[in-house]
Amino acid sequence: MFRKVLVANRGEIAMRVIRACRELGIRTVAVHSEADAGALHVRFAHEAVCIGPAPAAKSYLHVPALISAAEITAADAIHPGYGFLSENAEFAQVVERCGLHFIGPRAEAMQRWGDKLRAREIAEKFGLPLLPGSEALKNAAHAEAEAARVGYPVMLKARGGGGGRGMRIVRSSSEMRRAFESATAEAMNAFKNPELYLERFIERPKHVEFQVLADEHGQVFTLGERECSLQRRNQKLIEEAPSPSVSDELRAEMSRRIRQAVRETGYTSLGTLEFLMDDEGRLYFMEMNTRVQVEHPVTEMVTGVDLVREQILAAAGHRLNLPEAVPLDGHAIECRIMAEDPATFAPWPGKITEYLVPGGLGIRVDSGVFAGWSVPPHYDSLLAKLIAHAPTRGEALARMRRALDEFIIGGIRTNIPLQRRLLDLPEVTDASMTTRTVENLLLGDAVARSRN
């Protein structure tokens, strides 16, 4: 087992990793920017190292500073969390070359699955369904030709992308050139890779993702799926497990195919395969995320499996002791609590003057903030994740509504009012929501304001 793990992240995910390490008897090292000197993860780690000024490029994304911090504290492994360098294969290679363990997949597996076009090839080989699409696009004219072949509307996607960046919906050839240019620029800025491809666009899909976990001994486990349709601009707001749209038969069949694909490509660690579901209940593979997901707690709640703990054990070479298809118990829902205006979505940094979290049976809060902490303007606005678990989906929804009503965060604005509104929508109650649900609600708000 590792003796000491450096957590190359901040906020709630840094706290999540520190907790898992402590339960395993592993010492932890927190890294922090100057802006995060008083952060919660810095307080709870055994050691802490300042790695640079506030901008992420000069701290959390600064590889030499991270490696130096690991070396001076004698850490033997690095956990990247999510975001930042978590899916950066070059970082994983540097970690290994420096004689450290990277708690995640091997760099070659990350490259194989992280390249969206190569991932499509793997999916096709192992019978995972795909939307009609293209290879890498050479230029806007090539994109127009491929879109005409596939059929409009199409979605332009960054080959090395994620998090909704480098994506554009194109509904006609007249829109293609401008969309291609803006998506290329965004992809280059975000991923240092300007290549795009396209897929046929589904107007009102559901977003369903399957959780997988593999160890170094050839074992691959599936832990059900999550429903992530409630999102804005490809950024998830509410997730739940299991998906109310996935039958037991579909879950079993998709899990079988996923295990085969993961096993035969030599992938180890946590991974999430993401799919779109059309209105006839057919799934189409999109991509694989080669890291722990923000929404992993809902899977933990319905499986009873500590995913971060198992990820660490797998990276340390342990043989995991789980059933191939982990059974699911009850229903869990997660709301992402953000420091932002609930109407405009503008980030809202500032001092938290009051912080009272909800409690009671089946409620969990993963957070990296506290009363008196000043939310810095330099990073993602996620404050906390509120998770509710209950025997049925209806009970989980009721429990989450109650918990949101109890959650008090003073001094700044948050999206709690929006989360509460979303849970009261009829299409959320009856599980007919799609990836357009949030946008439709916001469009209705805009129309109402214009009439007033």
| Residues identified as active-site | 291
Contact (CB, 8 A) for 433 and 230? yes
Count of CB atoms situated within 10 Å of the CB of 421: 15
CA 232/CA 235 separation, integer angstroms: 5
- CA count, 13 A, side-chain hemisphere, 81: 22
3-class secondary structure for the chain? CCCEEEECCCHHHHHHHHHHHHHCCCEEEEEEEHHHCCCHHHHHCCEEEEEECCCHHHCCCCHHHHHHHHHHCCCCEEECCCCCCCCCHHHHHHHHHCCCEECCCCHHHHHHHHCHHHHHHHHHHCCCCECCECCCCCCHHHHHHHHHHHCCCEEEEECCCCCCCCCEEECCHHHHHHHHHHHHHHHHHHHCCCCEEEEECCCCCEEEEEEEEECCCCCEEEEEEEEEEEEECCEEEEEEECCCCCCHHHHHHHHHHHHHHHHHCCCCEEEEEEEEECCCCCEEEEEEECCCCCCHHHHHHHHCCCHHHHHHHHHCCCCCCCCCECCCCCEEEEEEEECECCCCCCECCEECCEEECCCCCCEEEEECCCCCCEECCCCCCEEEEEEEEECCHHHHHHHHHHHHHHCEEECCCCCHHHHHHHHCCHHHHCCCCCCCHHHHHHHHHHHHHHHC
Task: Give the separation between CA 29 and CA 15, rounded to whole angstroms.
Answer: 11
Question: What is the separation, in whole angstroms, between the first and last Cα of the chain?
Answer: 63
Q: Which amino acid is at 415?
A: N
Positive/negative CA dihedral, 318, 324, 325, 327:
negative
At 218, the amino acid letter reads: G
Tell me if 68 sits within 8 A of 42, measured CB to CB: no
